[in-house]
Structures are given as C-alpha cells and as structure tokens.
Structure 1
C-alpha cells in the first residue's frame, strides 16, 4: 500500500484512496465545502510524489506547477508527501472594517493587507480560523476600497457560527481569488441585461450592476431579487430609473414573478445567481421566455457537503 506523509506523520493507505478522505480519516481536519473541485478549500501542496488528479483544469497552471492540488479530486496511487494549506502562512491577512446585519444576512467588509486586483463577480475563499468557505465579491474593484461579502447566516454552519461573533478589527485570511461564471463584457454595452438573484446570490450581481453602469451600459437593465429579506433594497432603488428597473420579489411570489418575465429582444443577456433550486427555476423560465442558452450565465451557491 502507498504511504502518505504530512509533516512528521506517515501512514499507509489503500491504493486509490481519495486524498481528502485519507487526510481527514487520519484526523487532520482538512476543510471542504463542495467536494466537486469548485470551492478550493481542500488545497494541499505535493512535496514528493504525485496523486492522480481527476480535475486538473480546476487549478491555474501556475498553481499546479507549484505543486498545489485539490485533495477532493486526487487519488493516492503511490507514496506521497503533502503539506496542508495553512492560512496563517499561505493566506493574505484582511481586517474586518464593517459588519452590518440585515436580518440573517451579514454584510461583511474587509480591507486586505495589500491592494488586490479582481473583477466584479469573482469569488474568493475566506478563512475564519480553521474554517474555509468560498464567497462571491459584492464590491466594485477600483471604486470600493474594501472587499464586500454577503453571508446568509439563517442556518447554523461552521463559518456562519463564527461569523456571528466577528468584531471590527478582527482578522480573516484570504485564499484564492477565482473567476466564476458571472462577469460583465464590454460587448454587451448596447444589449438588454437581466440580473436575476435569489437570496445572497445578489452579491456578485450587485458588483456587476455597478460595473455595467460604470462602463456606460446603454441597454436596459432589469434586476430581480427574490428573497425573504431584501437587504439591499434601498441601494438598488437608488439606482433605479429610466435605464435600470428593480423588482423586489417575496420568496412566496417567486413563480408569479417568473411568469411575468417577457423577452423584448433576442439579444438579451441574463446573469443568474443563487441556490441550486432557485437557479434551476430561473433557467427554466429563461428557456421558456426564449433567451438563447449561450446568453445565460449562472453561478450556483452550493451548500457545504
């Protein structure tokens, strides 16, 4: 059987063992959320030997060259020595500068130790102690001097439970910035734009909405937010006008609101974000409405595994 080594610990594992499972069964408590290669919470660095990687495209080429792998996607087939991602040395410090509660939604604002380059709609891995979760950025690069996140704390969870105790001045660590499916393209300047969000799926679309306006978007922009708590209602309404229309929908009125979506142009681009069930409902209605599949971009918030 191949031997797995972390620091001074060394033990045998059955050939073909999933690396994440092998590490956690040994009590090393490697965090994870999705087990699908999306959240990047289970990063490890291969120091000697290489596992079989089922999803090499999930990491950037420079990361892979440095030996980083996603443990959830790797099988141990030969002797392997790895180092676990350590947010204290591998993460970037970021201080809490703002905490605002809107019901169960926390608007968290951080200031990183150094300026960062990112695009509206991207997401980043947040480390709070030993707990890691990916969250979409709601801030607008080049305009906001902070990183903003919208965290739904309605249900108990390792990250949310700790987030409830955060205070201004506390420190988190930032992991990898990643480009999700949501973004704004200059090619869309003259096209109708639909931004459809459920719950805190509004976070990346809030940044993208402001990016579109900053770029001088000429087409109509329709924003729909389906939620129990319309936590950005005032800010959204402040942008509403001749070009931007805002529809705030109660969760129980979701289907009726979807039925009201009418396509005025086949050039419409739709950006969708939220929990899997909500995104599926949006996508189904967009298909019925006639929005071409290639003009629908969706980001799904996956629940922790």
Structure 2
C-alpha cells in the first residue's frame, strides 16, 4: 500500500484512496467546498510521486507543471510526498476596505490587495479567513478600472466563512488564494451580437463584472440581464442606473417565485445570441435546457454553478 509524506509525517493509505480524504483523515484540515474540481480550495503540491488525476484539465498547465493538484480529484496509487497550500506563505494579503450590507443577507466586501491582481471579468478567487477557512468567490469588480476587489457574499445561511465575514471590520486582513477562471467572460468578437445574462441570487456578482466589461469595451449589440432574486434585487439601483445610461441594455428583476413561469416564456433575440448563466446547479440546468430548446446552441451557453457547502463547515 502507498505511503503519503507531509513534512516530517508519513503514513500508509489504501490503494486508490482519495487524496483529500487521506490528508484530512490524518488531521491536516485541507479546506474544500465543492469536491468537484471547481472551487480549487483543496490545492496541494506533489513534490514526489504522481497521483491518478481525474480532472487534469481543471488546472492551468503552468500550475500543473509546478506540481499542483486538486486533492479532491486525485487517487493515491503510489508513494507521494506533498505540501498543502499555505495561505500565509503563498497567498496574497488583502486589506478590508469596505463592508456594506445590501439588504439583510448580502455583504458587499471590498478588498485592497497588497499588489495589483491581474484578472478578467468572470473569474473566481479563493478567500482565506484568519481561521484557515477557504471559499471561492467570483469577482464583481471591474478589471483595470477599479483598484479594489469586490465580492458579494450571501450570508443568509449559517457557515464557517459566513460567520467569519460577519465579524470582519475595516482594516482586517484576508488572504487571497489562487485565481482561477470560470466559463463566464466577455470576448471582443461578440461586440455586435446579442447577449443574454441570467443570474440567480449572488450569481449576479460575476455577471455584474462581465456586463460592465462589455459596456466598457463598447458592446453595440443588445444586452438583456435577468436577475432572479428573493424579494428585491440587491443591486437594483445600480442596475437601473446603468440601464438608463445605455440604450442597448435592458434589465429585468424577477422574484424567484416567478422563475419557472419566466423561463418558460423566455425567447431568444436571434440564433447569434450568447447566453451567460450563473446560480445554483438546478437554476443553471433549467436555464441551459430552456435556452437550448429555444434555439441557442450549447456552445453559445456559458455557465458557472455556485455550489453551497454544508452549513457549519
């Protein structure tokens, strides 16, 4: 049976053991959120040996060449020597610049990183609390034009990171883990094509960034944004303000109780339309199915799924 070595510790695990389970079973407390290779919270570096990786495409080539792997996607088939991601050593420090409650449940968190973070609209980054809790969040800020990094945190459910976020004060420091790309983005060649943006809850965060990036780049085609929310949209005022400035932008705010009815009545602008969808897995699946039946090819439907971690974890 293979051995795993971490620092001065070495222990034996069963052939084919999941690497994340093997590390946490030994008390290393490697964080995780989705266990699907999306959140990147469970990064470990393989210093010797190679695990069996179910999703080698989930990490960019440069990071893989450095030995990084997603522990949740790896099976231990030979001896390994690993190092877990250390936010104190490898994370980017960021200072809390602003904390604003947008309603009772959504916290708008703005961080000022120690050095500029290069990213594109639609990407995610890991946020690490002082207590070692890591969760992935989409960037809602506008690349290049805004010095701070903005995140929209849904604190409606109890959880370790939500609890830590509620206790933050201006001047506190968080650590940023690796930046990774999602499917959501804006491409300059889409400039004249219709765009349809569909968001549920804080799935609006990356689309708020993508929307403003499209407008910043002078998008000329029509843009429709539909936000499905509990009660009033937490970004109602800025969305309506933006729609007032741009004739090609329309915004529709829909109570979640009306979601199925609205999706059933959804029509596409043309077969050239690109659709960007973000929210829970069920929401994304419902939207993708409806859009495909309405005539948009699967290659023109880009989506990110927000995966909720177990409460208290």
Of 268, 286, 294, which aligns to 2:291? 286
Question: 5+ residue gaps in structure 1?
Answer: none
Whole-angstrom CA distance in 2 between matches of 1:64 and 1:294: 27
Describe the superposition over 1:63-111 as per-residue Cα deviations: whole angstroms up to 9, x where unpaired.
1222211111122222221111110001110111011112211111111
Matched, 1:299 2:291: no
User: In structure 2, the residue corresponding to 1:5 is in which secondary structure?
Assistant: strand
Whole-angstrom CA distance in 2 between matches of 1:61 and 1:299: 21
Q: Match for residue 77 of structure 1?
A: 77
Deviation (angstroms), 1:139: 0.6
Moved more, 257-266 or 237-246: 257-266
Q: Match for residue 167 of structure 2?
A: 165
Whole-angstrom CA distance in 1 between matches of 2:64 and 2:193: 38
The equivalences for 1:143-182 within 5 A come to 143-182=145-184
Whole-angstrom CA distance in 2 between matches of 1:232 and 1:292: 30
Whole-angstrom CA distance in 2 between matches of 1:55 and 1:302: 18
Q: Match for residue 118 of structure 1?
A: 119
User: In structure 2, the residue corresponding to 1:133 is in which secondary structure?
Assistant: strand
Describe the superposition over 1:242-299 as per-residue Cα deviations: whole angstroms up to 9, x where unpaired.
2111101111111222233222322111111101111122222212322222211111
Whole-angstrom CA distance in 2 between matches of 1:51 and 1:293: 33
Matched, 1:131 2:136: no
Deviation (angstroms), 1:226: 0.4
Whole-angstrom CA distance in 1 between matches of 2:31 and 2:202: 22
Deviation (angstroms), 1:59: 1.4
Whole-angstrom CA distance in 2 between matches of 1:290 and 1:48: 49
Q: How many residues align?
A: 305
Whole-angstrom CA distance in 1 between matches of 2:2 and 2:168: 42
User: In structure 2, the residue corresponding to 1:240 is in which secondary structure?
Assistant: helix
Q: Match for residue 208 of structure 2?
A: 206
The equivalences for 1:1-305 within 5 A come to 1-102=1-102, 103-129=104-130, 130-228=132-230, 229-241=232-244, 242-304=247-309
User: In structure 1, the residue corresponding to 2:288 is in which secondary structure?
Assistant: helix
Whole-angstrom CA distance in 2 between matches of 1:50 and 1:293: 35
Whole-angstrom CA distance in 1 between matches of 2:144 and 2:180: 18
TM-score by length of 2: 0.94
Describe the superposition over 1:198-236 as per-residue Cα deviations: whole angstroms up to 9, x where unpaired.
000000100111111111111111110000141100000
Deviation (angstroms), 1:134: 0.8
Q: CA RMSD in A?
A: 1.3
Whole-angstrom CA distance in 2 between matches of 1:254 and 1:224: 10
Whole-angstrom CA distance in 2 between matches of 1:178 and 1:261: 31
TM-score by length of 1: 0.96
Deviation (angstroms), 1:20: 0.7
